[in-house]
Amino acid sequence: MTLLSFDVVKRYRGFLLNCRAAFDSGITAVFGRSGSGKTTLLNCLAGLRTPDSGLIEFNGETLYSSSPQRNAPPERRRFGYVFQDAALFPHLDVLGNILYGYKLTPKEHRRLDPDRLIALLQLSGLLRRSVADLSGGERQRVAIARALAVSPRMLLLDEPLASLDAAFKGLIIRYLKSIRAELGTPMIYVSHSMSEALALTDNVLVLSDGAAAAYGPTGSVLVHPAVGALADYGSLENLLEATVTHVDAPHGLATLRLGGVDLFAPGVTAAPGSTVTVSIRAGDIILALDVPARISARNVVAGTVEEVHARGARVIVYVDVGVRVVVEITPLAKESLGIEPRQRVYLIIKSSSVGVLEPDRR
């Protein structure tokens, strides 16, 4: 069901945004290179910029129209906005930032209790801290809580992971998934990272030079022929949730449960039972048709090929191991192995290639 639809034109010197799309109630990524118009589109939807012409509708309500003229101000649109740099109020502590918008929200629109947001985003120990004393990951969690405290009809996020260390990225992705699952808040997630889009979003709008190049389910769009020239497949990584089941301190390895399989990973400081986010580069995974014997790689995982997409010098393979894993191989490897959908394969992954994106808990 369409929740947000738009057809907007916005001109700047040397740039034209001319984009039309319709989003449903899930999490939608707006993906593209720097300068493609992602933030301009987000600002038009939020009411921070006024289009030159077009139409924006949310849940049947007209937020902007050039004919007849209508332009609802940002506070009437009731969208939460998380900026790339968090943009917290420096004169307020953490609790003051969270409560700022909540106090300005009319009581009849307050659906989310700040205490619930504080618990969900694990901020209870930070409430009296100055925002100047927060880490990057903490600042983004506060920014998300502040945006949600106004009980937004939709959450807009402008590259919220761009300024974070890798250790905090998995943490924020998990928080956003929890928000969607527990609060049901629809989101638009602006990013130039295919990996983030695959990990988090249901659908993707791809922008190129201010126009829509593709739109649809995330897995299909990111291997769409029109996206090949825009995407950096070489940096593609799997960002997946796993549960720590065992820590083998003498050997420096932990066992992680991922989907229906176990993986071994080094450097895990989380306790058994904890949920972590793992990163595995698509190009670091080897495909085999048979179970290999006498090899040093600790992870040999059985799976079934779902899709195969040739993209120039690369072939992108989606494999189901209980969760979807993206693998990058060469055209020669695809041809020599005869990789096809529904084929049974084995993923070979060195334990050192399984990164855990978590702040150090020691």
- What's the pLDDT tens digit per position in 135-170? 888 888 899 999 999 899 999 999 888 877 777 788
Q: Is 225 in the same domain as 242?
A: no
Q: Is 310 in the same domain as 243?
A: yes
Average pLDDT over residues 287-299: 92
**Least confident stretch, 10-14, 72-76, 170-174, 229-233:** 229-233
What is the secondary structure of 95-108 as a DSSP string? Answer: HHHHHHHHHHS-GG
145 lies in some domain: yes
Domain-terminating residue out of 196, 213, 231: 231
Q: Is 196 in the same domain as 300?
A: no
The 3-state DSSP class for residue 123 equals coil
Give residue 362's pLDDT. Answer: 46
Q: Is 327 in the same domain as 291?
A: yes
Instruction: Look up the pTM and report it.
Output: 0.89
Q: Are strands 154-158 and 79-82 parallel, antiparallel or unpaired?
A: parallel
Give residue 3's pLDDT. Answer: 94
- How many other C-beta atoms can be found within 10 angstroms of the C-beta atom of residue 132? 9
Into how many domains does the chain fold? Answer: 2
Average pLDDT over residues 185-192: 92
Q: Is 71 in the same domain as 96?
A: yes
Query: pLDDT class for 40, splitting at 50, 70, 90?
Result: very high
Domain-terminating residue out of 208, 231, 254: 231
The 3-state DSSP class for residue 174 equals helix
**CA 269 – CA 291 distance, rounded (Å):** 30
Angle at 301 between CA 298 and CA 304, to 5 degrees: 160
Among the ranges 75-84, 93-102, 338-347, which has the highest mean pLDDT value? 338-347
325 burial type by CB count under 10 A (0-12 exposed, 13-18 middle, 19+ buried) = buried
**Is the per-residue pLDDT at 359 higher than 90?**
no
CA 350 vs CA 34, 253, 270: distances in Å: 33, 12, 20
Q: Is 70 in the same domain as 97?
A: yes
Q: Is 219 in the same domain as 269?
A: no
> How many CA within 13 A on the CB side of residue 192?
14
110: amino acid identity, one letter: R
Q: Is 68 in the same domain as 189?
A: yes
Beta strands in 120-210 (DSSP E): 154-158, 187-191, 203-208
Q: Is 272 in the same domain as 297?
A: yes
361 lies in some domain: no
212 lies in some domain: yes
Q: Is 218 in the same domain as 248?
A: no
- Domain extent, residue 127, equals 4-231
- CATH number at 269 reads 2.40.50.100
362 lies in some domain: no
Q: Is 58 in the same domain as 184?
A: yes
Angle at 174 between CA 112 and CA 222, to 5 degrees: 115
**Is the per-residue pLDDT at 278 higher than 90?**
yes
Please give the residue that has the higher pLDDT: either 5 or 181.
Answer: 5
Average pLDDT over residues 216-222: 90
**Is the per-residue pLDDT at 360 higher than 70?**
no
- CATH number at 80 reads 3.40.50.300
